Structure 1
Amino acid sequence: MSPIFLRRQYVATMAATPENPIVFYDLINANGVHWSPNTYKTRLCLEYKGLPYRVEYSTLPEVESNMKKLGVPPVKATSPQYTLPVIADPSGDPDGKPHYVGDSFNIAVYLDEKYPAPRYPAIFNSNARSIEHLFIHQYLPTVARVGSTVVMPKLGQTLDQESIEYIKRTRGVSFNSLPQGEAEEKWKAFREKFFEMGLSLDYQDENGPFISGNRPSMIDFAIGGWFHLLQRIAPSELEQIFDWKEGRWRLLWEHIRDIEGRSSRGIMG
């Protein structure tokens, strides 16, 4: 769904309130814990903008059936078509049907347009939305793919068997552990990729804990999403990352966690 199409919907919807909040659809694992890096980005967007919301959870195999029951359109044209995050924003239409938006980046675009600055903090830096999209969808995945071969087997330890089979079937992901020597080489390559990404911090226009300085952006939330996943499944590897760049990544994570913990707006539905 294009941002232009989304903008045409904003006028027809009313603002969320504590009595009629945004519904945020998130993923949980076998232990009832939210873990997804993609849905975490949306959680941060809602918290950062200070919007009232409640949370409804699904496991991976439940997503498609749950979204179809709600009448949510497919998020993607390719399989799997139904993915989370999705939000339901309250509607001013007489029938009361909410406005559904899927995909973490499109949700961020929607929230910035529907709940604009200065009343609500902007998620995207000024005139940088396309650059942030390029970083999140083209560069960051190349970094994450290198490290995921090492940590993905640990994700399998936190998911139920049905969810594991779902990921294998829809994404072709392997949960098999690498031989120690190969895993060490992959982790070394991941560290080098992360080092390259960290060089960008040396070109900040202003000092601050976030990529752009003192205020966060969607790029920070995307990196925070991967830190969130690693905290859940590979905390020892995450601690190694925090020691890189003279503790710079730990500082970013501390400020991301501060955003997540600003309020108790997120209430399990």
Structure 2
Amino acid sequence: MSDNTIIFYDIPAKNELIWSPNTWKIRYALNYKGIPYKVVWVEFPDIESEMKKLGVQPTDTYPDGSPGPCYTVPTIYDPKTKRHITDSILIARYLDDTYPDRPLLFPPGTRTLQGPWSDVLTWPFLAPMFQFLMPATTWVMNSSSEKFLRNKMPIPMEEVYPSGEKKVEEWKKVEKGFAKMEKWFEKEDTFVCGDTVTFADFALGGYLMWIKIVLGPDSAEWKDVASWNNGRWGKFLKSLEKYEKL
């Protein structure tokens, strides 16, 4: 490992699961560009103190929109420039600007087009998925992060996760959300921008990976998602496998 190896901050989980949709965006990006990196694992309750210790600037708000300062990962440290960068889209832009000789995450003229995909987790029509994902996320967390997440919720996670007839109805809403997103793709397109993989694909891939990992690759729920829209989402994630590791 050279002195210029990037330090990449991520959140651990049980059984070495890599689950975070936001950090997956940057893992994909680093691997795509072929930039060496070392992962430093930080539990949820330790993120703020660790980022403050490193002198990392906070983001403006929390994911729910409440006022900050809020410290988040992904964050990277690049020894080449001696800079810390946080927030996935800012990191992706930085990687292209600093390493333009490697494959671009934002081909010329696509930064504005790709921007909204960085916030795929906030799209209203995908919101029904969160009642499934948030409880499932706590169930794969290490104890300190699990406690941290549970304390953020006004009711037990087990009550958030739908059951019975409600689960059936809410899952139908999830399917409708994916059907809406599918309409944005041309039938023959593999990726968001056609045949060329870009940061937008890594943002969507991070979301799909979150579903697959926390619900389980053999779960009925993931098998549903992977099969919807003529198998688009399962095939889409499969197409990104080559970027899962450096």
Q: 1:88 to 1:139 in 2, by over 3 A?
A: closer
Aligned with 1:151 (options 109, 133, 156): 133
State the alpha-carbon separation in 2 of the partners of residues 145 and 133 from structure 1: 19
Amino acid at match of 1:85: P
CA contact (8 A) 2:114 2:199 kept: yes
State the alpha-carbon separation in 2 of the partners of residues 209 and 108 from structure 1: 21
**Match in the other structure for 1:128:** 110
CA contact (8 A) 1:150 1:183 kept: no
Amino acid at match of 2:207: W
**Match in the other structure for 1:90:** 79
Aligned with 2:196 (options 215, 222, 225): 215
State the alpha-carbon separation in 1 of the partners of residues 155 and 4 from structure 2: 39
CA contact (8 A) 1:123 1:217 kept: yes
Q: 1:60 to 1:129 in 2, by over 3 A?
A: same
Structure 1: gaps spanning 5 or more residues: 1-16, 93-97, 264-269
TM-score w.r.t. length of structure 2: 0.86
Aligned length: 236
How many angstroms does 1:32 deviate by?
3.8
Does the residue aligned with 1:185 lie in a helix, a strand or coil?
A: helix
CA RMSD for the aligned pairs?
Answer: 2.3
How many angstroms does 1:124 deviate by?
1.7
Q: 1:212 to 1:174 in 2, by over 3 A?
A: farther
Q: 1:252 to 1:185 in 2, by over 3 A?
A: same
Aligned with 1:163 (options 127, 138, 145): 145
**Match in the other structure for 1:114:** 98
State the alpha-carbon separation in 1 of the partners of residues 46 and 8 from structure 2: 15
**Match in the other structure for 1:248:** 232
Matched, 1:99 2:83: yes
TM-score w.r.t. length of structure 1: 0.79
Q: 1:169 to 1:132 in 2, by over 3 A?
A: farther
Aligned with 2:27 (options 20, 43, 53): 43
**Match in the other structure for 1:27:** 11
**Match in the other structure for 1:57:** 41
Runs of 4+ in 1 over 4 A off after TM superposition: 168-174
Amino acid at match of 2:200: I
How many angstroms does 1:252 deviate by?
1.1
State the alpha-carbon separation in 1 of the partners of residues 16 and 120 from structure 2: 31
Amino acid at match of 1:227: L
Does the residue aligned with 2:84 lie in a helix, a strand or coil?
A: strand
Structure 2: gaps spanning 5 or more residues: 62-66
* Mapping 1:128-207, distance limit 5 Å: 128-137=110-119, 141-170=123-152, 175=157, 176=159, 177-202=161-186, 207=188
* Mapping 1:11-22, distance limit 5 Å: 18-22=2-6
**Match in the other structure for 1:75:** 59
How many angstroms does 1:18 deviate by?
3.4
How many angstroms does 1:108 deviate by?
0.6
Please identify, of 32-41 and 148-157, the stretch whose mean Cα deviation from structure 2 is larger: 148-157
Does the residue aligned with 2:32 lie in a helix, a strand or coil?
A: helix
CA contact (8 A) 1:24 1:55 kept: yes
State the alpha-carbon separation in 2 of the partners of residues 162 and 25 from structure 1: 17
Please identify, of 131-140 and 184-193, the stretch whose mean Cα deviation from structure 2 is larger: 131-140
Amino acid at match of 1:217: T
How many angstroms does 1:75 deviate by?
2.8
Amino acid at match of 1:158: V
How many angstroms does 1:168 deviate by?
4.4
The percentage of aligned residue pairs carrying the same residue is 31
